[in-house]
Amino acid sequence: MISVGIKELKAKLSSYVDKVRHGEEVVITDHGKEVALVKPISKERKAIESLVTYSKAKWSGGKPEGVKGIRIKGKPLSKTVLEERR
């Protein structure tokens, strides 16, 4: 994980964005204190964006709506959670 101050981040933003694009996480500091974390887009978010792009789902940043053609194998997540609580 890379740590960078705001001043340096502003001066070299493109290079830090490139590092994130290649999987690095960047901690942004202000006067030596951590204030933010920039990390790559998750695989789940990329999957949702792909569904939206091909009109398989609608999404405005909240819970996805109208997902079509998605089949989940195995038992329901709710059942798994209840089993793990025992």
For the chain of 86 residues, list the mean pLDDT of each consecutive stretch of 10: 96 97 96 96 86 82 69 78 85
Q: What is the pLDDT of residue 62?
A: 72
C-alpha dihedral over 58, 61, 64, 70, to 10 degrees? Answer: 80
Q: What is the pLDDT of residue 82?
A: 87
Q: What is the pLDDT of residue 19?
A: 97
Of 69, 49, 18, whose CA–CA distance to 2 is shortest?
A: 18
Q: What is the pLDDT of residue 67?
A: 66
Of 34, 41, 33, whose CA–CA distance to 17 is shortest?
A: 41
Q: What is the pLDDT of residue 75?
A: 81
Q: What is the pLDDT of residue 11?
A: 97
Two tokens, residue 36: 């933010």
Q: What is the pLDDT of residue 18?
A: 97
Q: What is the pLDDT of residue 26?
A: 97
| Domains of the chain, start order | 2-38 (3.40.1620.10), 43-85 (no CATH)
CA distance linking residue 72 with residue 57, whole number of Å: 16
